[in-house]
Amino acid sequence: MRKILWMFLLALFITSWTSAYAAPAVVPEAKPVISLPKIASGQTVESRGNSRQSELSKVRWANHTEALTGAAMLRLVMDVSGPVEATGVVIASPTPRLVVTIKGTVPNKTVSNLTFDGKIVEKVSFDVSGQDTKVSFDLPIMVEDSDFKVFTLRNDPQANKPFRVVVDVNKPVPLPDFSFTAGLKNKVIAIDPGHGGSDPGAIGPSRYQEKTVTLAVSQNVRTLLEKAGARVIMTRQDDRDVYGPNATAVDELKARSTAANNRKADVFLSIHADAFSNPTVGGTSTYYYQKTRFDSMLASSLQTSLIQAGNLQDRRANPANFYVIKRTRMPAALVELAFISNPNEEKLLSSPEFQQKMSLGIVQGLERFFNQAAKLN
Ligand SMILES: [Zn+2]
């Protein structure tokens, strides 16, 4: 069902697309030549094996900028002599690039590498790898899987259109430049109680569940923050899946970051409990992904206050790649209150006194953060 919807949206997008046909390094303004047909569901061309080679003959490209949002993308259209299969993958090192593999296809002599202004793509190069063509897009910065699309189109003899491979690369949208005032009053704070519903999170040796303590602490934090004059956005308020019971893990996490993004939270805080195979391991840690100048400051402030409040082993503020701290478009941190896999800490996590202590620690950490961030203005 979701796939059909996606294809429909894609068809709408492509029909509304007007773009230009341009030689490399010429700014494409007028001359709309790349007009792609509607894609019906199932029209994507499948592989036909390697029994015959296809030829990649012509490459054209266009820039597209949305007037309303300023979002920009580059579309590259490659003509091929037959139906092919094409896939793309983003590679981070040694330099960021998107590599598109066109199976059973070789470029002909007219195809040459392209150089761009580097805002979205720096360079596109065509290489033969066995039976396949590898098209490499050198990128100015690393992009996510959602920032590019690779698809194929059937030929249309009536309109004199060949088979095509289309690659869309979005320009990454920069984050706003944040600045903060001191104190908690009027701040908008997104609190994300980890796990919930069908996902219990980690489970302790006495069967206490992570989703229970994350919700209890989040609710305490909410009460304390609201008393201090802040506005709180909760990604969940009870024991439930945020996206839905049958969601993928990514859908579930996306629903949490989207809630904070849509409601323009000042900061985002995800609350979890840790777990490890060795039951003697314990302590408190905080994670951040440095996407604004404030993420590590937020994590350090929280960590300092949580250690003062709970007095457990200081496992520090550490950088990490977790989805919710990466995809939220504001300073964000993820706290691991204690180890639920450690019997002593499981007991603490399940006690209302410890939950309240850690909740106070979080609120003090948030206040510490805003006071410190305000000094940078
Ligand atoms: Zn967790």
Q: How close is the Cα of 334 to the center of ligand 1, in Å?
A: 9
The answer to whether residue 22 sits within a structural domain is: no
Report the pLDDT value the prediction gives residue 337, as an integer from 0 to 100: 98
User: Which residue type occupies 372?
Assistant: Q
| Per-residue model confidence (pLDDT) at position 91 | 85
Clarify whether residues 107 and 199 are in a common domain: no
Claim to verify: residue 111 and residue 209 sit in the same structural domain: no
Give dist(CA 339, CA 87) in Å, integer.
Answer: 41
Separation of alpha carbons 259 and 250, rounded Å: 14
Instruction: Quote the pLDDT of residue 282.
Output: 98
Going from the Cα of 146 to the center of ligand 1, the distance in angstroms, rounded, reads 24
pTM of whole model > 0.75?
Answer: no
| Residue 341 amino acid letter | S
377 residues of the chain, pLDDT tens digit each: 444 445 444 444 443 343 333 333 333 333 334 444 443 333 343 444 445 789 999 999 999 887 777 789 999 999 999 999 999 998 877 888 999 999 999 999 999 999 999 889 999 999 999 999 999 999 987 777 888 999 999 999 999 999 999 999 998 777 888 999 999 999 999 999 999 999 999 999 999 999 999 999 999 999 999 999 999 999 999 999 988 777 778 788 888 988 888 888 999 999 999 999 999 999 999 999 998 999 999 999 999 999 999 999 999 999 998 989 988 989 999 999 999 999 999 999 999 999 999 999 999 999 999 999 999 98
336 an active-site residue?
yes
- Which residue range forms the structural domain that includes residue 117? 54-170
| Cβ within 8 Å of residue 79, ≥6 positions away | 56, 57, 58, 59, 162, 163, 164
- Can you give the pLDDT at residue 189? 98
User: Taking the mean position of all CA atoms in its chain, how far away is CA 176?
Assistant: 17
- Whether the CA torsion 25, 143, 235, 300 is positive or negative: it is negative
pLDDT at res. 136: 97
* Ligand 1 ion: nearby residues, β-carbon < 5 Å: 194, 201, 272
158 to each of 37, 153, 245, how far by Cα in Å? 12, 14, 47
Q: How far is the CA of 196 from the centre of ligand 1 (A)?
A: 10
CA of 234 relative to ligand 1 center, distance in Å: 16
Report pLDDT for 247. Answer: 78
How far does residue 18's CA lie from ligand 1's centre (Å)?
45
Q: Which residues pair with 319 in a beta bridge?
A: 288
Assign residue 328 the CATH number of its domain. 3.40.630.40
Quick check: is 200 in a domain? yes
- CATH classification at residue 96: 2.60.40.3500
Q: Clarify whether residues 147 and 192 are in a common domain.
A: no
* pLDDT, position 49: 44
Q: How far is the CA of 202 from the centre of ligand 1 (A)?
A: 6
13 belongs to a structural domain: no
One domain for residues 199 and 281: yes
Annotated active-site residue in 85, 252, 336, 367: 336
Tell me how many domains the chain contains: 2
